[in-house]
C-alpha cells in the first residue's frame, strides 16, 4: 500500500496525467498534478472568481460514538452549528449547503468519503468539517468494531478530487500533527485548513448548561443566545471548543467570506477569538486554534 | 488511621490479649492492642476508602470529553490534592475513652485508557486520647473506576500500618488490608449533580503486641449519596448523606452496627488550576460513638 502511494505520488510529481483512482467501483481519471497546482493557484481561484455565497457545498465526517470512551456529542453539535452559520450567511434557507455527511465512518467509509468529495466541476466553495478522536501521531481513531487508529498517510492514500476552493476544518485533538504529513498538503488539496489544536494539545467539549468550569452563557451571551435560537430544541448544550470559537467569529462577520483572503481573515478571527478566550477565561478547556498554511 | 480501636469495651465477652498475656472477658479490640473496631466510623481504612470512592465519582461526573486518542490516553487530566482532616470521637460506652485524630492525605487522580478513573493516596494520621493514649498510622490506597453513561463501578484497595500505644508500656503494631468494591449511579443535569454508590469495605487486620499475634476481619456496607450544585464558576456546594452497616465481623464487636453520616462540602475554585474545599460531617444514630469530622484541602488540576 505504501509502495502504491509512492507510485502515485511520483506520478503527481512528474506531472503525469495518467494517474487513475478507484472511485465508486469505477476508474476515474484524476490529474494528480493538478492537486499541487491547484493548491498553488487556489488564491487566485478564490480571488479571480468570488463565489456566490449560495454556491457552497458543506461536507462532514464525524466519529463520535466511542463505546468505551465518552461520546463526542459536542462535535456533532459543532458540525450542525457550522452548517447553520453557512446557511445563515446565505440568507437563503432553501439552498442549504447540505452536502455529504458521514457519521461514525469505518476506515473504508472515510476513505470513500474523502475520495468522493466534489471536484472543481461543482464550481462551489467546498467546506469540509472533520472531527474524531485523533492521536498525537496524526491518526484518526475509528469507532465501533473497526475501532483503531489510521494515519492520514493511509487515509489519503487515494487522493480526493482536487479542488482549488476547498477549506478544511479539522476539529480534533493534536490537529496540527497533520502538518507533518506531506500527504495532507499534497493530496487533501485544501486552500486553507483550520486546526482546532496544537500538535501537543487536546481540544475539549464545552457545556452551555453548566456554570463550571466556565459559565459559558454568562461569558458568551451572544453565542449562547444564537445557538439556542438556531440549533434544534433537542440540543443538549454541548459544543466543541472550536464550535464556540467559530460561532463567536461568525457573529462578528456579518458578511460571508467569499475570497480566499476573506476566508483566511475569518480563520484569523477564529485564532483571535481563541486567544481572547484564553486571556479572559483561562486555558482550562481551551486549545490553540490556528490555520494552515499561515495567512499571508 | 484511627487508633481509637483502643477504647476499652468491658461489655463484650470475647477473649483479650494484653502484653503477651491472655485475658478472658474483654473484647479482642479492647486494651489497646487490637485496632480498627468494626462499627468505628473513624477507622482510617474506612475513611480512606470513602475518600477514594468519592474522589473517583467526582472525577467521573466532572470530566469533559475531549478528542484525544493514542498514547496520551494513558494519563489524562491529572490532579493532585492535599487534605487535612480532624476527627473528634467520643466513645459513649462507660469505660470507653475519647480521641482526637489529626490526619493528612495527599493523592493523585487521573483518567486513563477507556476513560477509566484512577487514584492513589497516601495518608498519615496521629491519634491522641484519654489516659495518655497515642498512636499513628500510615496508609496507601489505590483506586480504579469506570463509568458507562450514568452507571459506574470500581474499587479501592489499601494497606495501612499503625502503631498504638495505650499506655503501660504497651505497643501494638497493626497491618490492615482493605478491599472496597463499589457500584453506583450518577445524574448530571446542568449545574446539579447527584450520585449514589453502594460500597462494601472489607478489611483484614493482623495485630501484634509483645510477641502475641491475632487477626480479625469485617465488612461494612455503605451507601454514599452526594448531591452537588454549582452556584457560579467558582463556588459549588455538596450535601452528603451516607448509611453504614457492619454486615460481617470476626471476632464480634459490641459496637453499634448501624449509623448515618450527614454533612456538607464547599468548594471554591481559586484559579484555573487550584481549588480549595472544606467539609464537615457528623455521625447520627450511632449508639457507641459520637464522631465528627472536618476536612480542608487544596487540589490542583494540571
Output the CA–CA distances (angstroms, integers) from residue A83 to A98, A169, B144, in the order listed. Answer: 7, 12, 40
Q: Where are the beta strands (DSSP E) in chain B?
A: 15-18, 21-24, 76-91, 99-112, 116-129, 134-148, 151-167, 170-189, 192-209, 212-230, 235-250, 258-269, 274-284, 289-301
pLDDT tens readout for residues A153-169: 889 888 777 777 889 99
Please tell me the distance from the alpha carbon of residue A138 to that of residue A132, in angstroms, as a whole number.
11
Q: Determine contact: B71 vs chain A, CB below 8 A.
A: yes
Query: Is pLDDT above 50 for A100?
Result: yes
The ipTM of this complex is 0.74
Of these ranges, A35-39, A114-118, B228-232, the one predicted with the greatest mean pLDDT is B228-232
Query: Residues of chain B with pLDDT > 70: what percent?
Result: 86
pLDDT of residue A49: 47
- Does residue B273 contact residue B301 with C-beta atoms inside 8 Å? yes
Query: Is pLDDT above 90 for A293?
Result: no
* Local confidence band at A26 (pLDDT 50, 70, 90 cut-offs): very low
User: Which residue, among B174, B171, B223, has the nearest Cα to B197 in the 3D structure?
Assistant: B223
H-run or E-run covering A110: helix A107-115
| DSSP labels, A169-196 | EEEETTGGGGGG-HHIIIII--SEEEES
Find out whether the peptide bond into A213 is cis, omega within 30 degrees of 0.
yes
For residues B225 and B24, which has the higher predicted lDDT (pLDDT)? B225
Determine the residue among B60, B63, B69, B116 to mutate to test chain A binding: the one whose Cβ has the most chain A Cβ atoms within 10 Å: B69
Given an 8 Å threshold on Cβ–Cβ distance, is B67 in contact with A132? yes
* Local confidence band at B22 (pLDDT 50, 70, 90 cut-offs): very low
CA B269, B145, A139: angle at the middle one, nearest 5?
85
pLDDT of residue B302: 85
For residues A48 and A127, which has the higher predicted lDDT (pLDDT)? A127
Fill in the DSSP letter of residue B22: E
Nearest beta carbon to residue B272 from set A134, A218, A284: A284
B278 burial (CB, 10 Å; 0-12 / 13-18 / 19+) is middle
Q: Dig out the grid coordinates for A80 from the structure.
A: 450542525
pLDDT of residue A146: 62
Q: Three-state DSSP class for A33? A: helix
Mean pLDDT for the stretch of residues B129-140: 85
CA B167, B171, B175: angle at the middle one, nearest 5?
135
- Does residue A195 contact residue A292 with C-beta atoms inside 8 Å? yes
Given an 8 Å threshold on Cβ–Cβ distance, is B191 in contact with A207? no
Residue A203 CA, distance from chain mean position: 14
Determine the residue among A210, A218, A240 to mutate to test chain B binding: the one whose Cβ has the most chain B Cβ atoms within 10 Å: A210
Query: Is pLDDT above 60 for B20?
Result: no
Query: Is pLDDT above 80 for A40?
Result: no
The contacts of residue B17 (CB under 8 Å, 6+ apart) are B23, B28, B31, B33, B209, B212, B214
Q: Dig out the grid coordinates for B295 from the structure.
A: 476536612
- Find the closest chain A residue to B76 by CA distance: A202
pLDDT of residue A148: 83
Given an 8 Å threshold on Cβ–Cβ distance, is A206 in contact with B115? no
Query: Residues of chain A with pLDDT > 90: what percent?
Result: 40
pLDDT of residue B76: 83
pLDDT of residue B214: 87
Place of cell 498519615: B124
Place of cell 478564490: A46
A17-31, A129-143, B50-64: segment of lowest average pLDDT:
A17-31
pLDDT of residue B144: 96
pLDDT of residue B243: 95
Q: Dig out the grid coordinates for B109 from the structure.
A: 487522580
Mean pLDDT for the stretch of residues B107-126: 92
* Local confidence band at B70 (pLDDT 50, 70, 90 cut-offs): low
Q: Dig out the grid coordinates for B231 from the structure.
A: 452556584
Query: Is pLDDT above 80 for B97?
Result: no
Within chain B, residue ranges assigned H as helices are 44-62
Residues in A whose CB is inside 8 Å of some CB of B read 68-75, 131-137, 139, 141, 149, 171-174, 196, 202-207, 209-215, 218, 237, 240, 282-285
Output the CA–CA distances (angstroms, integers) from residue A193 to A130, A165, A196, B188, B302, in the order listed. Answer: 11, 11, 10, 36, 29
Amino acid at each position: 500500500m505504501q509502495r502504491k502511494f509512492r507510485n502515485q505520488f511520483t506520478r503527481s510529481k512528474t506531472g503525469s496525467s495518467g494517474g487513475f483512482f478507484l472511485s465508486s467501483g469505477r476508474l476515474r481519471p484524476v490529474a494528480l498534478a493538478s492537486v499541487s497546482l491547484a493548491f498553488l493557484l487556489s488564491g487566485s481561484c478564490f480571488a479571480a472568481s468570488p463565489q456566490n455565497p449560495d454556491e457552497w457545498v458543506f461536507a462532514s465526517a464525524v466519529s463520535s460514538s466511542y463505546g468505551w470512551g465518552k461520546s463526542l456529542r459536542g462535535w456533532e453539535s459543532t458540525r450542525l452549528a457550522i452548517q447553520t452559520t453557512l446557511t445563515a450567511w446565505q440568507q437563503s434557507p432553501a439552498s442549504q449547503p447540505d452536502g455529504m455527511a458521514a457519521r461514525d465512518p469505518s476506515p473504508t467509509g472515510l476513505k470513500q468519503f474523502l475520495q468522493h468529495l466534489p471536484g472543481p466541476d461543482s464550481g462551489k466553495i467546498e467546506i469540509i468539517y472533520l472531527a474524531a478522536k485523533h492521536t498525537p501521531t496524526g491518526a484518526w481513531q475509528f469507532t465501533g468494531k473497526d475501532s483503531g487508529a489510521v494515519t492520514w498517510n493511509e487515509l489519503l492514500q487515494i487522493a480526493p478530487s482536487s479542488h482549488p476552493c476547498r477549506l478544511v476544518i479539522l476539529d480534533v485533538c493534536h490537529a496540527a500533527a497533520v502538518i507533518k504529513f506531506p500527504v495532507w498538503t499534497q493530496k487533501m488539496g485544501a486552500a486553507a485548513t483550520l486546526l482546532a489544536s496544537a500538535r501537543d494539545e487536546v481540544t475539549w467539549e464545552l457545556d452551555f448548561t453548566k456554570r463550571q468550569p466556565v459559565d459559558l452563557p454568562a461569558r458568551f451571551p451572544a453565542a449562547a443566545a444564537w445557538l439556542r435560537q438556531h440549533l434544534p430544541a433537542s440540543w443538549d448544550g454541548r459544543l466543541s471548543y472550536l464550535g464556540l470559537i467559530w460561532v463567536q467569529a461568525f457573529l462578528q462577520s456579518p458578511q460571508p467570506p467569499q475570497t480566499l483572503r476573506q476566508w483566511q481573515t475569518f480563520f484569523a478571527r477564529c485564532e483571535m477569538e481563541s486567544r481572547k478566550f484564553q486571556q479572559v477565561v483561562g486555558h482550562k478547556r481551551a486549545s490553540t486554534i490556528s490555520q494552515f498554511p499561515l495567512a499571508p | 488511621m484511627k487508633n481509637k480501636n483502643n477504647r476499652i469495651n468491658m461489655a463484650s465477652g470475647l477473649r483479650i490479649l494484653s502484653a503477651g498475656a491472655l485475658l478472658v472477658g474483654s473484647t479482642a479490640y479492647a486494651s489497646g492492642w487490637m485496632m480498627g473496631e468494626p462499627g468505628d466510623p473513624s477507622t482510617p481504612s474506612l475513611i480512606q476508602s470513602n475518600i477514594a470512592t468519592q474522589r473517583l465519582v467526582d472525577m467521573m461526573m466532572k470530566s469533559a470529553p475531549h478528542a484525544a486518542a493514542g498514547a496520551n490516553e494513558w494519563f489524562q487530566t491529572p490532579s493532585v490534592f492535599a487534605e487535612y482532616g480532624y476527627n473528634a470521637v467520643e466513645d459513649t460506652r462507660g469505660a470507653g475513652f475519647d480521641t482526637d485524630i489529626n490526619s493528612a492525605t495527599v493523592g493523585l487522580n487521573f483518567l486513563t485508557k477507556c476513560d477509566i478513573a484512577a487514584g492513589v493516596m497516601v495518608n498519615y494520621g496521629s491519634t491522641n486520647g484519654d489516659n495518655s493514649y497515642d498512636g499513628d498510622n500510615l496508609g496507601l490506597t489505590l483506586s480504579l473506576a469506570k463509568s458507562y453513561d450514568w452507571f459506574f463501578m470500581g474499587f479501592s484497595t489499601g494497606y495501612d500500618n499503625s502503631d498504638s500505644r495505650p499506655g503501660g508500656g504497651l505497643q501494638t503494631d497493626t497491618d490492615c488490608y482493605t478491599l472496597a468494591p463499589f457500584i453506583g449511579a450518577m445524574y448530571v443535569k446542568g449545574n446539579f449533580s447527584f450520585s449514589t454508590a453502594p460500597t462494601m469495605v472489607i478489611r483484614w487486620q493482623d495485630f501484634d503486641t509483645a510477641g502475641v499475634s491475632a487477626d480479625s476481619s469485617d465488612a461494612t456496607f455503605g451507601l454514599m449519596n452526594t448531591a452537588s450544585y454549582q452556584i457560579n464558576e467558582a463556588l459549588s456546594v455538596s450535601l452528603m448523606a451516607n448509611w453504614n452497616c457492619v454486615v460481617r465481623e470476626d471476632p464480634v464487636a459490641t459496637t453499634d452496627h448501624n449509623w448515618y453520616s450527614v454533612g456538607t462540602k464547599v468548594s471554591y475554585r481559586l484559579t484555573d488550576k487550584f481549588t480549595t474545599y472544606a467539609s464537615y460531617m457528623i455521625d447520627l444514630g450511632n449508639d457507641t460513638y459520637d464522631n465528627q469530622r472536618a476536612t480542608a484541602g487544596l487540589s490542583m488540576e494540571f
